[in-house]
Amino acid sequence: MHFKNEVKKYEWMVLLFFLLFFGYGCYKNGLSYVFLGKMTFVEVLKPLMFLLVSIILSLLFSLLEKRKITCESFIRGLLFVLLLPPTFPLLYFSLYTLVFYVFLWIGKKWFPKVSYLSLYMVGILLLTEIFQIGLENMIEKEMHFQYGTIDIFFGRGLGGFGTTNIFLIILCYFVLCSYYYYKRELPIYAFTTYSICFFVHYFMHPSFYTFQSFLAPSVFFSFVFFLPQNETSSATKRGKFLTGLLAGLLSFVFIHLLFIKEGAYYAVLLTNLFWILGHRIYFFFLSTKCDKKNALQLKKNTIS
């Protein structure tokens, strides 16, 4: 009972922070430009349409799975909106999310432990490439804003609708660390590995980098919210260390060697898949070893 209450408190806290991220996204991609006369107030209300569609689909999915409608349903619906590029069309979002839920419902028997969050985000990134949808909002495209390090840290960088405020993400991480349910070590291991790789490569090729490239919002958001999911990551000390190590290394490769700005989401998904594969291989050999041991014991008992 105590554990269930802890999980509920954790989910409500995540929901509260996601609402803060959504509010910041509305300010960054709308209200701040209304004050400058670059956008009408009606255009600012557009994200509410995305939120409404996303939550309705999330609730329908919960009913389809015959689950109770809980805080998790609203978290999922809100999170899908936060991950969107600011200029993503509503029709594409509605159709993709609907297809994704159907795919998730049909395929849960074959890959129940795959991180649906990472899978969803990778799908969004692929769609942005296919339809050439940029991460900049409409005003940023016109004005070609150049942001400094402080601007990026406080949310003016490029990324999803509500995933760019690194300050809020770090604040949320420290709050979530107070919950036993949250795997607080994973973001630390992952970010430490990512930082070491970045600075080693930076000193080897100093003209290749700017410090702003280190502050990729996808790194912070995916490490804090995607990587520590209980169903899709290891619970052992060694497993957490290896998971964080792999996620940090792959994030560095995707973002700074392959030049994919949102590469941390790909990294977390691959880390999740490697963990599942390693987990199954380990238990396969363990079960084979146990079967051999049982067979030898049975043979001894038969001879005796």
Q: Write the pLDDT tens digit of every residue in 14-29.
A: 999 999 999 999 888 8
- If one counts the domains in the chain, the total is 2
Q: What pLDDT is recorded for position 298?
A: 45
Across 77-83, average pLDDT: 91
Residues 139 and 14 in one domain: yes
Q: What pLDDT is recorded for position 241?
A: 92
Residues 137 and 193 in one domain: no
Residues 43 and 71 in one domain: yes
Residues 176 and 189 in one domain: no
Residues 221 and 99 in one domain: no
Boundaries of domain holding 81: 1-181
Give, in degrees to the nearest 5, the angle at Cα 89 between 33 and 129: 105
Considering 48-52, 71-75, 85-89, 138-142, the range whose residues carry the highest mean pLDDT is 48-52
Residues 28 and 49 in one domain: yes
- In the numeric block, which tokens belong to residue 4? 């269930």
| Burial classification of residue 156, based on how many CB atoms lie within 10 Å of its CB (0-12 exposed, 13-18 middle, 19 or more buried) | middle
Q: What's the one-letter identity of residue 175? A: V
Q: Annotate 109-135 with DSSP letters as a single string.
A: TT-TTS-HHHHHHHHHHHHHHHTT--S
Give residue for tokens 């999803």. Answer: 160
Residues 190 and 175 in one domain: no
Residues 146 and 59 in one domain: yes
- In the numeric block, which tokens belong to residue 297? 């014991």
